[in-house]
Amino acid sequence: MDAPTPRSALSIAGSDPSGGAGIQADLKTFSALGVYGAAALTSLTAQNTREVRAIHVPPVEFLAQQLDCVFEDLDIAATKLGMLSNEHVVATVASALRRHAARNVVLDPVMVSKGGAPLLSDTAVDALRRELVPLASVLTPNLPEAAVMLGLAEREVLAAPERACERLVALGCRAVVLKGGHAGGAHSDDLYFDGTSFTQLPARRTLSENTHGTGCTFSAAIAAYLALGKPRLEAVQFAKRYVTAAIEGSKDWKLGRGHGPVHHFHAWWRDASR
């Protein structure tokens, strides 16, 4: 019997040559969840588990060509947005999403790498708020990113997460997941808000240095589940379980000398030594 044609999802993000984050993490996530992955590169980075050493942003005209080629040929059921670098990239991506009536857009407002390197220019933040947030089905900021987007101190977001979610949804997205990983403590709980109701997304924190690409993986998993036809909240809940298991699955890995990657294929690789 012939296998059915898989659903397709597109990642619009930067490349991580060490394989733990960005386009590479997104494609692994799509594959792990049974979705065909396509990718359009916004940026090329020279990075590893310890640092981002250099960033190259190709001409936006080339990015537009990538996006048109993919959208004109594949039936893209969901699109994940990651590293967008500057306001010109933001504008190019927003134009393409509108031009092709992109569905199920998941926006991960990547601003800083795990090692602390800036990945989004200050001038791009306003463009992201203005042009991309209104196109997003789900917005997935962590606490520092939410603070920047709202012009608040991080402690203010942490003190009133419900109010922060309300303000983020008021920017135009359909729903927001405020990620709580930066809050510390024994749990890493997220908060979902769809403009009507709040849903807690609890998880016990895994003590691990291998957390490189967790945000990329989480947002890509949301896009994958949306591509598979899951309702928005269910897609987020499934994605939370997936990334939590991926972090647990790599906690004993010794890949790299910094923040290692999560285990995208934790449900399939029974013996990582083979």
Q: State the catalytic residues.
A: 179, 211, 213-216
Q: Is the dihedral of CA 130, 47, 29, 243 positive or negative?
A: negative
Quote the CA–CA distance of 14 and 148 in Å, as a whole number.
21
Q: Name the one residue in this structure whose structure tokens are 């994605």.
A: 239
The answer to whether residues 140 and 181 touch, using CB atoms and an 8 Å cutoff, is: no
Which residue type occupies 160? A
**Distance between CA atoms of residues 80 and 40, nearest Å:** 10
Contacts of 243 (CB under 8 A, 6+ apart): 214, 217, 218, 221, 262
User: Rounded distance, CA 28 to CA 224, Å?
Assistant: 11
H or E element at residue 194? none
For residue 261, what are the β-bridge partners? Answer: 212
Using alpha carbons, select from 222, 175, 171 the residue that is nearest to residue 196: 175
In whole angstroms, give the CA distance from residue 244 to residue 239: 8
Rounded-to-integer distance, Cα 130 and Cα 253, Å: 40
Report which secondary-structure segment, H or E, holds 13. Answer: strand 8-15
